[in-house]
Structure 1
Amino acid sequence: MLAAGTDHWCLELEGVTKSFGDTRALRSLSLKASQGAVTAILGPNGAGKTTLMEICEGLQAADGGTVRVLGLDPRRDAARLRPRVGVMVQDGGLPIMARPLELLRHVARMYAAPRDVEELVDLLGLDAFARTSVRRLSGGQRQRLALAIALVGRPDLVFLDEPSAGLDPQARLVVWDLVETLRADGVSVILSTHLMDEAARLADHVAIIDHGAVLAQGTVAELTGPVAGARATRTPDAARLRGPLTPAARADLAELADTHGLTLELEDGVRTLEDVFLDLTGRSLR
């Protein structure tokens, strides 16, 4: 169960900061993720996604701010959270001489009521390389094994850091179907990804971060919703603006209109999640 009074959120971060020497990885970052939903964290390389995930997983300590996972502190309450949280990290962190099937069974024995190992083997297609040492597996095979290990304990909350990295289209669809099944079963999922189509299909809520701060968040529909257009006209009673507006600019306009009792009219425009992402984070290579 969640801690008292926190049943709506699986994740709560308020003013979280983290620095590595002179580099500020997180800058007073605040974010909430709903229980039983898929929350996607998007951001370019170096945006702070992995640092954010590792702090929530208890692998790193924040320098400041408040972090609550299932209502608990991920560092102080690590022993209480460990049986309830599944973690799939970017590099897998897998022992290279272990064999996948033996490793998965070993991890399963650590839990009181683990998921059926053979079911996960069949679901993720692990049988084809079940007896091959981890060091000989391809990147995609390691990803599938890491996902199985993250799920075998029947977690209430699972962190998936780039789960589709290195996967072929068939394996990616299997992973997507699995994430949707987790949500249907009431499992909370925090998903870090570079794939806009993955986030658009799976996420109930999206947070776009860069330079260690949240730039925009909302549902995919909210982030990609209508944008302002213009007819380049102005009257004493009305004005029209021309050109696409970022989600942050639209929010500022809405606040301005509300403050002055104005009506804000937006004309429909078709945008994708990638359009919004590039508007907010820029188009330069990192």
Structure 2
Amino acid sequence: MTAVISVNDLNKIYDSGFQALKGVNLDIQAGEIFALLGPNGAGKTTLISIICGIVNPSSGTVLADGHDIIKEFRAARSAIGLVPQELSTDAFETVWGTVSFSRGLFGKPRNDAHIEKVLRDLSLWDKKDSKIMMLSGGMKRRVMIAKALSHEPKILFLDEPTAGVDVELRREMWEMVRELREQGVTIILTTHYIEEAEEMADRVGIINRGEIILVDEKKRLMEKLGRKQLTVQLAEPLQALPGSLNYEALELVADGWSLIYTYDANQESTGIAELLRKLSEEGIDFKDLHSSQSSLEDIFVDLVKNGERARAGEAS
């Protein structure tokens, strides 16, 4: 696949001396939904701001749709739509007026049919003549998305787009995102709702302390790093595990009524069979089995925590 965004050895050091980005390398493929995850202060917004031309990099290069964001900034920016975290638009302008004006800023010819489609897709058509100041927070968020789509960008950045919006809008928004991907638009998403990334993303990148610590396909990431657990509900409580069952992957719950076996996908066929065989050999009866798998949020938290532990070890 072709990289529609290519980031190479990107660094950002602010005047205060704080280094927000440290040698970031990242390729985002055309037509994918890419979720960029990280804790507060990890560098997500700085990275997006540099790609979109809002913040200047200290060093490194970025290509957007094949255009250098510094040397060919007009062409690069015309390919990008941005929905920022903060709501910022002219409070006294109408919905139609502000969205149409955004299209004009990119030198695009008037296209009332496109503006109408965007407003209808975002359930804003009946508000087209309303002033921004009269809208709810959720409606203002929709207007920000409409402005970002007004000039028909190939790349769309959604920086915490569902913050403060209701469930209905969130569902509508993700349906629209899927439609945009089908039309060939590349979507880059940052979100604190990791379940959204789990549902929507094709690939996931995790950034922490200004460094990309992992990029992988969501499915492969969850298969590779996601833990699975089998909970065995016992017929009678145990006071302690027999010697043959006393191994690290198996835990006896405090009340003695359950065993929890933690494993990965590669161990599934052999590990569970071995566990059940040993239970039978020990004469331990069970009445129920329940399996579960760690979520993308679990994986994210573990990766960040492990990174912090590694840093603490290096510092000591």
Distance 2:131 2:101 in 1: 15
Q: How do residues 173-188 of structure 1 correspond to structure 2 at under 5 angstroms? A: 173-188=171-186
The residue type paired with residue 79 of structure 2 is: R
Maintained 8 Å contact 2:64/2:79: no
Listed as ranges, the gaps of 5+ residues in structure 2 are 229-246, 251-263, 269-291, 309-316
Please state whether the residue corresponding to 1:149 is helix, strand or coil: helix
RMSD across aligned C-alpha pairs, in angstroms? 2.7
Please state whether the residue corresponding to 2:184 is helix, strand or coil: coil
Which residue does the alignment assign to 2:234? Answer: none
Which residue does the alignment assign to 1:171? Answer: 169
Which residue does the alignment assign to 1:81? Answer: 76
Which residue does the alignment assign to 2:293? Answer: 270
TM-score (norm 2): 0.72
Listed as ranges, the gaps of 5+ residues in structure 1 are 1-6, 230-239, 244-263
The residue type paired with residue 145 of structure 1 is: V
TM-score (norm 1): 0.79
Distance 1:281 1:108 in 2: 40
- Tell me if 1:147 matches 2:151: no
- Tell me if 1:11 matches 2:8: no
Which residue does the alignment assign to 1:248? Answer: none
**CA-CA distance at 1:130 after TM superposition:** 3.1
Distance 1:26 1:57 in 2: 15
Q: How do residues 124-139 of structure 1 correspond to structure 2 at under 5 angstroms? A: 124-139=122-137
**CA-CA distance at 1:128 after TM superposition:** 4.4
Which residue does the alignment assign to 1:234? Answer: none
Distance 2:10 2:267 in 1: 37
Please state whether the residue corresponding to 1:94 is helix, strand or coil: coil
**CA-CA distance at 1:282 after TM superposition:** 3.3
Match of 2:23 among 22, 25, 28: 28
- Tell me if 1:111 matches 2:95: no
Which of the two has greater helix per residue? 2
Which residue does the alignment assign to 1:63? Answer: 58
Which residue does the alignment assign to 1:47? Answer: 42
Give the 3 Å change call, closer, same or farther, for CA 95–61 of structure 1 in structure 2.
Answer: same
User: For each residue in 1:32-57, what CA deviation from the matched residue of structure 2 results, as whole angstroms up to 9, or x when unmatched?
Assistant: 10011111111111111000000000
Distance 1:64 1:177 in 2: 37
Range moving further from structure 2, 93-102 or 220-229: 220-229
Maintained 8 Å contact 2:52/2:77: no
Tell me: higher relative CO, structure 1 or 2? Use CA pairs within 8 A at least 6 residues apart: 1
Which residue does the alignment assign to 1:213? Answer: 211
**CA-CA distance at 1:73 after TM superposition:** 1.4
Please state whether the residue corresponding to 1:225 is helix, strand or coil: helix
**CA-CA distance at 1:139 after TM superposition:** 2.3
Distance 1:63 1:152 in 2: 31
The residue type paired with residue 5 of structure 2 is: L
Please state whether the residue corresponding to 2:87 is helix, strand or coil: coil
Maintained 8 Å contact 2:80/2:156: yes
Match of 1:91 among 74, 81, 86: 86
Maintained 8 Å contact 1:56/1:67: yes
Distance 1:265 1:99 in 2: 54
Which of the two has greater strand per residue? 2
The residue type paired with residue 67 of structure 1 is: V
Find the structure with the greater CA-based Rg.
Answer: 2
Distance 2:57 2:131 in 1: 35
**CA-CA distance at 1:76 after TM superposition:** 2.2
User: For each residue in 1:80-116, what CA deviation from the matched residue of structure 2 results, as whole angstroms up to 9, or x when unmatched?
Assistant: 1233221111113312222212211233344137562
